[in-house]
Structures are given as C-alpha cells and as structure tokens.
Amino acid sequence: MRPTASKPVSTGDIEIGEKPVICASIGEKTVEKQISLYRAVEADLVELRIDKLSRDSYGKLSRALSSDVNEKPLIITNRREKEGGEYDGPEKNRVEDLLSMMRFADIVDIELQTPQQQREKIIDKANEKGTPVIVSHHNHQQTTDKSEIKMKIEECMELGDIAKVAYMAKTPLDVLSLMEATYTTKKEIGKPVCSIAMGETGKHSRVIGPAYGSDIIYAPVGAETAPGQISLDKIKVLLRELF
C-alpha cells in the first residue's frame, strides 16, 4: 500500500501527502507565455520557473499575477544553474528575487545547497507568512547510494514542509535505490516528499514513484523543465489508471 504522510501539507483545496498530486511546471521564456499557460492549464498545482525569465521582466510578472484571479495553488521556483536551472547570477540576488515574488506563492521552493544564510531568509519569510516550503536537492550527474539519498531526504524534511529530491538515473538499480529511500524515509518521518529519477532511464519513476510515497508529479506545460519528463496529458491518464 502507498505510504501516506502523517504530516500532510494543505494549500487551497489540495492536500499533499495523501494522494499523489500533479504539478504543471511552466518554464517558458516570456511572461506572456507563462501567464497564458498558468491561466489555461488544468492541474492540482502549478509551478512558475522564474529563473527562465530575464530579471528585468519580474516587474511585468508581478503586475500580471497581481491582477490575476486564479484558484490553482502556485509554486514559485528560482532554480540555480548548478541544479539544472538557468539562474547563474549571485546567490544573494537570486534569493532577493525569490523573496520579492513570494507574495504570490502558495508554496515556495528553495534548494538545500543554497548558502545557509540565504536559505534561512526564504524559510523564515515563508514561516512568517504561513507559506509551505519545498526544500529541494538535485544531482544531474548521478544517483548516489541509498543511504546518501535517505540522508538528503531527511535534511530536506528537517528544514522544509515538503522534501524534493531528483537524481540522474543511469541504471534501473538507481531508480530502485531512490524508490526504497523514499519509501523508508517517508514512513519514518511522515512529511510529504517528491522523488524523481531523471533522464530516460528514470522516466518511469514519474509514474511509479507515487506507489513508493512520492507525492508530487511534475509535468511540463510548454517547454520541458527537466530531463525525462512526461507530458501533462499522459501523466493524468496514467495516474487515473494506477491511483
């Protein structure tokens, strides 16, 4: 039986940690395209990848979100280049940009490897606002051993409300290690988790992951935002059949 979270996270009408939920990830390069997709997409959650936009367009994005009435819970992410994103500037600026957009966020994503002082700014602000935090870790080179994966999930859970880990899978055994670490850690700690095996070898993890406790399935709308993703429409069909 799929393990459920004893400490689920609620945002709007969505509860994360019991049944798997779908997050439509939007990584288009213009504000107009991101907002257009955000308004049109049908999913439990929507992620806006602001690292895909130029910094001078954040004002336009803020104005668009301020005037938009949308009931879909929004995850704001400003992914740094080291973890597969496109933000390659100073960490201080990246975090300041994320802080400035947090007033629109129902959930905010911050990387575990963000320098502690900068990471704490996001977490403290989110706690002050009552905004759930995803603490994430991405390894685009390899899948480490099961004990290290478990440790990373534990660290993410300790700092945030939801843990997210993504590893590049090179063999089927990499996927098994990730799934086992996910299952065990969620059962022990009880917080929601999202676990992803990236690349073609790990593609099926986005479908089978929920059976091992992964709670959020990311699917691209428009431009792909990570290697090995499955389209939103296909994910909806597969999850409906399985869960």
Catalytic residue numbers read 138, 164
167: which strand partners? 139, 197
Residue 117 is labelled as binding a ligand: no
Residue 94 is labelled as binding a ligand: no
Residue 229 is labelled as binding a ligand: yes
Residue 79 is labelled as binding a ligand: yes
> How many residues in the chain?
243
Residue 25 is labelled as binding a ligand: yes
Nearest Cα neighbor of 68 from 40, 45, 44 is: 40
Write down the H helix ranges in 10-113: 31-40, 58-67, 91-101
- What does residue 26 show for φ and ψ, rounded to 5 degrees? -110, 120
Residue 47 is labelled as binding a ligand: yes
Nearest Cα neighbor of 146 from 178, 122, 119 is: 178
Residue 81 is labelled as binding a ligand: no
DSSP per-residue string spanning 128-191: HHT--EEEEEEESS----HHHHHHHHHHHHHHSSEEEEEEE-SSHHHHHHHHHHHHHHHHHH--
Torsion of CA 11, 14, 15, 19, to 10 degrees: -150
Residue 63 is labelled as binding a ligand: no
CB count in 10 Å sphere of residue 4: 16
Task: Summarize the annotated binding site as residue ranges.
Answer: 25, 47-49, 79, 206, 225, 229
Task: Summarize the annotated binding site for 3-dehydroquinate as residue ranges.
Answer: 25, 47-49, 79, 206, 225, 229
